[in-house]
Each structure stands twice: as C-alpha cells, then as structure tokens.
C-alpha cells in the first residue's frame, strides 16, 4: 500500500483494473438490444473512464439500428449522458475521479483547424471519420464474449461504464442533477444552439420548426429565448402540439390537415415566408420544404436532423439564387460570443440551467431503468 501511495497521481492508470459490468450491446442491425456482461478496459493515456448515471435515447442511435447511419457491429450505442469519473489515464488534467461530467460526441481537441477557428465547432477528432467505432488510437475498450465491441461517436453511453478521450468530456457543476442535464450532452444543446448560434434568431422574427421531438422542442426553447415573435411548430403527430405550445410555439400545424404542400401553407400564414426555418427530423423532403418556406430573399434554413445515408437532394436552385441561406448544424453549430465549442459550451449550459435560464424537465417524457432500453426505443419510434 505504501508503495502505491508514492506513485504520482497521473500514473495511477498503471494499476487500474478491467471493469466487468452490464451494457446494452447491439449485435446486428434491426435487432433488439441485448443486455450483456462486458469488460471495460482501463483508460489509456489521455483517456477517462466514466460511470454512467443517466443517458437519453436519441433518434441518431436508432439511425444506426435501421442502417440510416452506417456504423460497424457489434456496437455499444448511446451518446447523450451524464456520469461520474471513475478513473483517468496518464496525462489527464481536466478531470479527476469523482467529478461530475458529460461525455461529448463532438470533442474539442483544441488543436485542429476547426477548434482553432473562431467560426467552427466540428472538431476533426469527431468519430464520423475513416475508422468509426474506435478510440483515437484505433482500438476499442469494450470486449463481450471474447469479441471486440465498437464504440459509438466516441461516447458509448448504454453501459454502466465507458471510456472516452479527454477531449470528449466536460466537467460540470457538482450540484447538477445528472438525470436532467444529460440532455445537454446532445438533444438540448443541438436544438437550442441551432437557434441561437447557427441561425442567430433575432428578436421579433418569425420561425418554423419541422419536427417536435426533443431536439425540435429545444429549437423552440432557443427561438423563444432569442425573442422570436412567432414560432410555428410543424409535425404530423398532433399529440406533440401541447408540449410545443408549453415551450413557446405560437402556432402548431399538421401537414396532413392540408391538401397543398406545407411550404405553401407557411408562406400564406406568414405573408411571404419565415425568417428562420429548422428541419429537425432528418428527411430530405422536409429539408426542401423547410428551405422553401423561408423568406425568398433573406430567409435562413438550418438542417439539424441527421441526413439519411445514401440519399441525395434534388431541388430548384432558384430557391437559393434569390438570396436564401441554407446551413447545417451539428451540436449547436457555429461558435460565437459564448464559445459554442463542446468543452466550453456544455459547462456553461449546465450553469445556465442551474440559474433557470431555460427548462429541461418538459423534454423528459419517461424515466426507465436502463435494462428496459428496448421499451424506451419503442416509445421513441411510436412518437411517445
């Protein structure tokens, strides 16, 4: 014991053990999750092992299951979570065991072109690259039944313990309720930031939000905080309208109630189109509709939903020629005054939540024990 006490703290990973714990493993596409015992290796240099306390279910996880987002199998999904640092690898300085943290599916390495730019937030170390499913060193920390299991977006939160790179974790307020602020790990930040940072919604403006899941509702919260005078919520599930109005929508419309294209309906409602529109579903037809319903000369339309794999968009270029802007937004988009880079923005958003600048509770419809993850995905797929 005395010898171990003398080992300098940064080198404590040398005596860390493999952790055996439960995880929800996805063995192949279009099958249920399987609750398995997995081995989670100790964190290597500049890595952090986290005990996951709460995790959300996001449509992007389901996109992997259906094949719309291509990833290798077997895989541990999940990317919206909060937890407590269990141990750290050599050289880790930004967090220590016991810290409350949120894993970041968009890391912040601080060294790549996007991290160094004041304009971007899409770190090049993001797990969308050439070898998805692996840690930056090209290996995995998960094993199940003797097989290597892939990571998802550098986070993999459907497990009792996970390992992330130090650039993909943010320390947060120790008083924050993890079962609420886990949403800041993806859905809330993505929607709220798309409104405030990517679109830069202005006071008195008009907005249209296509898709009223957790991210779409977070866009509505952002539009309201930005001072939009009119926020039109669009969804084919009218059951979602009450929650949208509670969070700030002024109008709710169901495309099924009209026998004309929805962009024409919105153009008529607003006398020429909205200032800002948001596609928060991930469908090419609604992406074009959102673009077309924005004001023809100065409208801004933002793609927030993950585009489906292998699908292309065909549209009339006159939609852009007249002056509209079409933007994409990942994890809240571009970086402005409040530094919307993940490692910087997430602790600030948690602090803003603690100051009651925005609410998260209405975004949480169900709380389940994580072994009921398949039931959770059924609730997602049925729009509940």
Backbone angles phi, psi at 36, to 5 degrees: -130, 160
Neighbours of 336 (CB within 10 A): 14
Catalytic annotation, pick one of 13, 79, 151, 165: 79
Residue 29 in contact with residue 61, Cβ under 8 Å? no
Residue 163 in contact with residue 43, Cβ under 8 Å? yes
Largest CA distance in the chain: 78
In 3D space, the residue among 223, 226, 215 whose CA is nearest the CA of residue 280 turns out to be 215
Q: Strand order in 147-149's β-sheet?
A: 19-25, 34-40, 142-144, 147-149
Catalytic annotation, pick one of 109, 123, 182, 186: 186
Is 60 marked active-site? yes
Is 186 marked active-site? yes
Is 63 marked active-site? yes
Helices (H), 172-317: 178-181, 187-193, 214-226, 241-247, 262-270, 284-292
Looking only at the bridges linking them, the beta strands covering 230-234 and 206-210 are: parallel
**Can you tell me the distance from the alpha carbon of 193 to that of 200, in angstroms, rounded to the nearest whole number?**
9
Catalytic annotation, pick one of 12, 13, 58, 252: 58
C-alpha dist (Å) from residue 112 to 119, 182, 330: 13, 27, 17
CA angle 347, 352, 354 (to 5 degrees): 95
CA angle 216, 346, 308 (to 5 degrees): 40
Burial 261-273 (b: 16+ CB within 10 A, else e): ebbebbbebbeeb
In 3D space, the residue among 22, 16, 7, 82 whose CA is nearest the CA of residue 43 turns out to be 16
**Can you tell me the distance from the alpha carbon of 89 to that of 47, in angstroms, rounded to the nearest whole number?**
5
Neighbours of 141 (CB within 10 A): 26
Neighbours of 382 (CB within 10 A): 8
**Can you tell me the distance from the alpha carbon of 71 to that of 82, in angstroms, rounded to the nearest whole number?**
23
CA 159, 165, 168, 173 torsion-angle sign: positive
Active site residue ranges = 58, 60, 63, 79, 186
């Amino acid at each position: 014991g005395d010898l171990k006490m003398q080992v300098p703290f940064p080198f404590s990973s040398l005596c860390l053990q493999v952790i055996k714990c439960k995880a929800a493993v996805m063995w192949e596409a279009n099958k249920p999750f399987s609750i398995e015992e997995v081995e989670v290796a100790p964190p290597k240099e500049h890595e952090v092992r986290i005990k996951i306390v709460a995790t959300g279910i996001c449509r992007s996880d389901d996109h992997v299951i259906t094949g719309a987002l291509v990833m290798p199998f077997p895989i541990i999904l999940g990317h919206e979570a909060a937890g407590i640092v269990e141990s750290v690898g050599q050289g880790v300085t930004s967090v220590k065991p016991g810290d409350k943290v949120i894993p970041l599916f968009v890391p912040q390495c601080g060294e790549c072109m996007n991290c160094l730019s004041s304009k971007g937030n899409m770190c090049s170390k993001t797990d969308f690259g050439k070898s998805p499913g692996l840690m930056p060193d090209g290996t995995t920390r998960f094993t199940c039944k003797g097989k290597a299991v892939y990571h998802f977006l550098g986070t993999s939160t459907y497990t009792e313990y996970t390992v992330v790179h130090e650039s993909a974790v943010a320390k947060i307020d120790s008083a924050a309720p993890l079962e609420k602020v886990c949403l800041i790990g993806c859905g809330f930040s993505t929607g709220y930031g798309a409104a405030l940072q990517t679109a830069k919604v202005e006071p008195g403006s008009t907005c249209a939000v296509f898709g009223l899941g957790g991210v779409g509702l977070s866009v509505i919260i952002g539009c309201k905080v930005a001072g939009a005078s009119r926020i039109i919520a669009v969804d084919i599930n009218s059951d979602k309208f009450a929650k949208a109005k509670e969070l700030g929508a002024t109008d709710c419309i169901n495309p099924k109630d009209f026998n004309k294209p929805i962009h024409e309906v919105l153009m008529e409602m607003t006398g020429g189109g909205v200032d800002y529109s948001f596609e928060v579903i991930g469908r090419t037809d609604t992406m074009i509709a959102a673009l077309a319903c924005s004001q023809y000369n100065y409208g801004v339309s933002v793609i927030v939903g993950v585009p489906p794999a292998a699908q292309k968009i065909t549209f009339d270029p006159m939609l852009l020629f007249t002056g509209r802007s079409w933007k994409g937004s990942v994890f809240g988009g571009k970086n402005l005054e409040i530094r919307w880079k993940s490692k910087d923005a997430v602790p600030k958003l948690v602090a803003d939540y603690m100051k009651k600048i925005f609410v998260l509770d209405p975004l949480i419809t169900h709380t389940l024990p994580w072994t009921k993850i398949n039931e959770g995905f059924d609730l997602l797929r049925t729009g509940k």
